[in-house]
Structure 1
Amino acid sequence: MTVANTVEARCCFKLLYAIVVVLLLHMSSPCIGCSERERQALLALKQGLQGLVGDDGNRLLSWGREAQNKDCCQWDGVYCNNQTGHVVKLDLGEQYLQGKISPKLIHLQHLEYLDLSYNNFSGSKIPDFIGSLSNLIYLNLSNVNFGGQIPNQLGNLTHLQYLDLSSYGYSVVHAKNLNWLPNLSGLKHLDLSFTNLSDVVGWLEAVNMLPKLRNLILQGCNLPPPVISSVSVMNSSKSLSITFRVHCLI
């Protein structure tokens, strides 16, 4: 074998070795995509919701069962963790959807951000099972035409930092008490505008137990007058030293 042939053989061996290494690395690093369980949960959510006819801006149009649409992390409004593939954010705000929210939503157990604002749920109640999405940090259910009583299960969302249940529509959400609210100790933003809180006697005590709260909006809630002792506690609390942006409390 000549020197030239030897050099050529070595080069071919190195090239072959490099190809084998790349293939092995590819085989040991599976492609990250959304899980089948989460994909089916999203498809169930889509089945219960409908957009306006002919609305090309409807994000649900990209949600499909076809092979090319199998990875739900590529669907509009769906965001996944790059390392785990789990769905962590669902943004369906201002899509003018109508219908019902599927209970299979609870299969998105890694969800941190949920925005369903400005859709139409026809006066139905806020689903209790939303309280099972224990990793939620952001929850926006504003102006979605919900009715009925605010479920106490929202108190299970102990990681929540942003909560908006405001409504400027026809259906009115109401509460008999806010006993669930102090459980949300990490809450920084709370908007209950135009929810009916006329029966909530201890609303100020409940708000006062949120040490990180910075934005409080209670416009048009028909709040009863606060207890004088509660006002004193609120004024003297070090945890509430930053001024709230409170609008039209009474």
Structure 2
Amino acid sequence: MQALLAFKQGLVDDDNSLLSWGREVQNKDCCQWDGVYCSNHTGHVVKLDLGGQSLQGTISPKLVELQDLEYLNLSLNNFSRSQIPDFIGSFSNLRYLNLSNAKFGGEIPYQLENLTRLEYLDLSSDEYFYGWFDDSIYAKNLNWLPNLSGLKHFDLSSTNLTGVVGWLEAVNMLPKLRVCVYCEYLN
């Protein structure tokens, strides 16, 4: 609960999407909070689904305390060109990561290579179409990608991969990959 409250504290929630997140008696069970899902067996948070909530601000490193997290969706929010936090690479149980159209910027952190259980990765953006390509997410290399051997869905649409060498070889090292959006444009 404390990790989620620290996460909320770093956010601007003008739409009150996280109104159910609180310390009040009626809101003490974080497994009942909107967008938070817990394991029936352990009671630990396994899913955080906050896509499309118009959230802004920064992501607290306290979030890393949710070590049982398997699903993280922060898509369609506004993180004001901040870099994808490298501590996301510490979620060793993560199977689903969707940061699409969340207005992240900067280089894709190589720490994502630690997400060896990941099956779904979406870092796409539609910002290129609005002329913001220069400030978008980019990669200097994809050396981290082959470690994600369980990846089935991969989307880097409108991610700046200018100058990435050997990218096709990195993608071809993913034995379970079924969907690779944007791959056909990078040949």
CA distance in structure 1 between the aligned counterparts of 2:171 and 2:41, rounded to whole angstroms? 37
CA distance in structure 1 between the aligned counterparts of 2:17 and 2:160, rounded to whole angstroms? 32
Match of 2:12 in 1: 50
CA distance in structure 1 between the aligned counterparts of 2:58 and 2:50, rounded to whole angstroms? 14
Match of 1:210 in 2: 174
CA deviations 1:214-250 (Å, max 9, x no partner) are: 00012xxxxxxxxxxxxxxxxxxxxxxxxxxx55335
Match of 1:98 in 2: 56
Aligned-pair identity (%): 74
Unmatched 5+ residue regions in structure 1? 1-38, 219-245
What letter is aligned with 1:66? E
Q: How many residues of Structure 1 are paired with residues of Structure 2 in the alignment?
A: 181
What letter is aligned with 1:194? S
1:51-200 correspondence runs (5 A): 51-52=13-14, 55=15, 58-169=16-127, 170=132, 171-200=135-164
Coordinate RMSD, CA, aligned = 1.1
CA distance in structure 2 between the aligned counterparts of 1:160 and 1:71, rounded to whole angstroms? 28
Q: CA deviation at 1:116?
A: 0.1
CA distance in structure 2 between the aligned counterparts of 1:199 and 1:128, rounded to whole angstroms? 22
CA distance in structure 2 between the aligned counterparts of 1:92 and 1:59, rounded to whole angstroms? 9
CA deviations 1:60-115 (Å, max 9, x no partner) are: 11000112211100000000001110000000000010000000010000000000
CA distance in structure 1 between the aligned counterparts of 2:151 and 2:18, rounded to whole angstroms? 30
4+ residue segments displaced more than 4 Å: none
Unmatched 5+ residue regions in structure 2? none
Q: CA deviation at 1:59?
A: 2.9
Q: CA deviation at 1:50?
A: 1.3
CA deviations 1:23-45 (Å, max 9, x no partner) are: xxxxxxxxxxxxxxxx0000001
Match of 2:185 in 1: 248
Normalization by structure 2: what TM-score?
0.94
Determine if contact 1:59/1:77 at 8 Å carries over to the other structure.
no
| Structure index of larger Rg | 1
- Normalized per residue, the structure richer in strand is 2
Looking at both structures, which has the greater relative contact order when contacts are Cα pairs under 8 Å and sequence separation is at least 6?
2
Aligned pair in 2 of structure 1 residues 247, 51: CA closer, same or farther (>3 Å)? Answer: farther
- Normalized per residue, the structure richer in helix is 1
